Structure 1
Amino acid sequence: MEASGVNVDLRAKAEWVWRQTLEVYRRAPEVRLASSLSPIEIFVSLYYGGLLRFDPQRTNWEERDRCIISKGHGSICMYPILADLGYFPAEELERVCQAGSFLGGIPDPVIPGYETVNGSLGHGLGVASGMALGLKVKGGAQDVFVVTGDGELHEGANWEAIMFAAQNKLDNLTLVVDDNRICMLGFTDEINSLGVLADRLGGFGWNCLEVDGHDVMAVHAALTTLKKTRDGRPKALVARTIKGRGVPGLENAPLSHVMSPKIDLIDSLLQESRP
């Protein structure tokens, strides 16, 4: 089964996911809101744009494409997506972070649709590289996608995986970087600059594109191009995003990672019509 993205209005779906993510935060303010607003268009493109093969009724279907969500804390926006696609009942969204719910503040593999443990940053790309190599050796046609944050790339294990993937010509692997340029305690460039990330990845032998990460059609087009390309190089998309996008006081604030907007503000945003 493939996600039926051809007839889906990706822009409208991204707006819906943004609102649903605010609703989740409204019920469970312990989740990381800012980190979960920047990758929305990435996940909408992957899951509604016909880029991933998956079956919500068979989460371990061998022919599925793999999507490793390495920045687990920043993927609360995936909860409404997975419910919408039928991985679990939508009623579960009412119980996020409550006793007895499998939807926690940081996702883990108990949630249908999540492939790996995502709490400790820096491991997703290595896991994805191993999966891609295994599938390639077996002659499988599956693709492996991994979504990381830019701050997460401060972890050295990522660069070992970047070298490993290039060495093994893993052209069934696509890294998507949610490049919101803010990590836990401030702006990424002021803590440990990654430079021009697309150029740096290119220097390691990767086929890299860069795009406005909130232009969902541009994200989808770039991912479609990368998915079709098999030239012996692993692939990467650097998606330039805004942390906390759309929430005044949170958007692009250096400490947005650990900030919790007041519920009154969230209520007012949910009542507004966005252009």
Structure 2
Amino acid sequence: MKNQTSEQLAWKIRRHGIEMTHLSGGSHIGAIMSVADIIAVLYADVLKYDPQNTKSEKRDRFILSKGHAGAAIYAALAECGFFDVEELKTHYANGSRLSGHVSHHLPGVDFSTGSLGHGLSAGAGMAYAIKKDGKKERVFVVLGDGECDEGSVWEAVLFANHFRLNNLIAIVDHNHMQSMDFQENTIEIEDFAAKWKAFGWNVIEINGNSHEELKSAFEKTEIIREKEPHKPTVIIANTIKGYGVSFMRNDILWHYRFPHDGWEYDCAVNELHEHKPEGVEDVYTPKGIQNPVMPTEQDDINNDHTFTATWKPSYQEKMRRVEAPAGSGEREHRI
């Protein structure tokens, strides 16, 4: 049901994401927020699909390889008619189809993900099969940038180039953060674009939170497909983790944390309402939060929670001073 703009869908993905993680106590709202624009443009303007015929051979295939941001794809599928929006409230619940990481038991999901590094390999296999059958459908795979530390990603990159899979488009949600820190403090990955080019891929680098640039990039993939028929394409979408809520932006805390009752939930909802597109209804809080709880000086907000900033040299010394078992002949050992 492509009856909404990508901007409207992106807002709904973020609003559903806040609600789903809030209700379930689930994680990864930062990743959900950064990838929302990519998912929205794909489902509103790019992908060929039929929610009434989810196994159609004429559909484009889509894999969210960064499966921990699964709430984003669940929200998009519900808003596009694959299942009822009301089911989103069961996210993470026992017996729910909406598991914490993406599950293929849900209509519209081609491949279960969550174990990072697998999605592009599966997508390359799908693209290879489609091409061997002489069909025109495409395969889109959204990866995380931290996920690109996985060797299996680069094996798939090599495979896709070797078999000239010009029907395969990878999109990297390059929010520059992973796990507990900024990416460059974890494992250096730049010059990221040069790496993909060296492996034989066409590379498009954009602002991944700009719908205009996303739409232009996807249009270019089709032009490239005609001019460079022997190469797969990657879109490196530079995004901001937590995009859409100011206190979540570039704060690694929100990789794992969910919006708790009080100022976290109230302020997140009201910030989204400040930028709600026309024609969009908030099914949870139609007018936002009235009389919201606001953070105080004692609340943990706008602090640097990266491993680099929070690790203290004294921690290492404390770890060394652990008494060895009696009779071991050792005065100390490391844990």
| Equivalent of 1:256 in 251, 254, 260 | 254
Q: Does 1:242 align with 2:240?
A: yes
Counterparts of residues 95-114 of structure 1 (less than 5 Å): 95-114=90-109
Distance in 2, Cα, partners of 1:261 & 1:80:
17
Check the 8 A contact 1:250/1:256 in 2, yes or no.
Answer: yes
Partner of 1:141: 136
Q: Does 1:266 align with 2:265?
A: yes
- 2:38 is aligned with 1:42: yes
Does the aligned pair in 1 maintain the 2:27–2:256 contact within 8 Å? no
Q: Secondary structure at the match of 2:71?
A: coil
Q: Any idea what the Cα deviations from partners look like across 1:11-33, whole Å, max 9, x if unmatched?
A: 23322322221121221221321
CA contact (8 A) 2:12 2:75 kept: no
- Give 1:255 shift: 4.0
Structure 2 distance, partners of 1:10, 1:31, is: 24
Alignment counterpart, residue 14 of structure 1, candidates 6, 10, 27: 10
- C-alpha distance in structure 2 between counterparts of 1:94 and 1:262, whole Å: 16
1:221 has 2:216 as partner: yes
TM-score, normalization: structure 1?
0.93
Q: Distance in 2 between matches of 1:228 and 1:108?
A: 33
Is 1:23 matched with 2:22? no
- Greater shift, 150-159 or 249-258, is seen at 249-258
Note if contact 2:6-2:41 (Cα within 8 Å) is conserved in structure 1.
yes
Tell me how far apart the structure 1 counterparts of residues 6 and 258 of structure 2 sit (CA, whole Å): 28
Tell me what 1:233 maps to.
231
Shift of 1:262: 2.6
Contact 2:63–2:119 at 8 Å: present in 1 too?
yes
Q: Does 1:171 find its partner at 2:131?
A: no
CA drift of 1:269 comes to 2.5
Alpha-carbon distance between aligned partners in 1 of 2:178 and 2:267, rounded to the nearest angstrom: 27
Question: Which entry has the higher C-alpha Rg, 1 or 2?
Answer: 2
Q: What is the CA-CA distance between 1:148 and the residue it aligns to?
A: 0.3
Residue 229 of structure 1: CA displacement? 2.4
Say if 2:18 and 2:259, in contact at 8 Å, map to a contact too.
no
Say if 2:115 is the partner of 1:116.
Answer: no
8 A Cα contact 1:32 1:258, kept in partner: yes
Q: Residues 221 and 8 of structure 1: is their aligned pair in 2 closer, same or farther, counting only changes over 3 Å?
A: farther
Cα separation, 2, equivalents of 1:52 and 1:92:
23
| Aligned AA (1:267) | D
Cα shift at 1:8: 3.8
Structure 2 residue runs of 5 or longer lacking an equivalent are 276-335
Partners of 1:102 and 1:233 lie apart in 2 by 37
Query: In the comparison of the two structures, how many residue pairs are matched?
Result: 270
Structure 2 partner of 1:129 = 124
Secondary structure, in 3 states, of the residue corresponding to 1:76?
Answer: helix
1:184 aligns with 2:179: yes
Matches within 5 A, 1:206-217: 206-217=201-212
Q: Structure 1 residues 76 and 248 mapped into 2: Cα distance closer, same or farther (>3 Å)?
A: same
User: C-alpha separation between the residues in 1 aligned to 2:198 and 2:210?
Assistant: 26
The corresponding residue for 1:205 is 200
3-state SS of paired residue (1:242)? coil
State which drifts further: 107-116 or 145-154: 107-116
Q: Give the TM-score normalised by the residue count of structure 2.
A: 0.77
Pick from 75, 96, 100 the counterpart of residue 70 of structure 2: 75
- Single out whichever of 162-171 and 14-23 deviates more from structure 2: 14-23
Identical-residue share of aligned pairs (%) = 34
Indicate if the aligned counterparts of 1:69 and 1:147 stay in contact, CA closer than 8 A.
yes
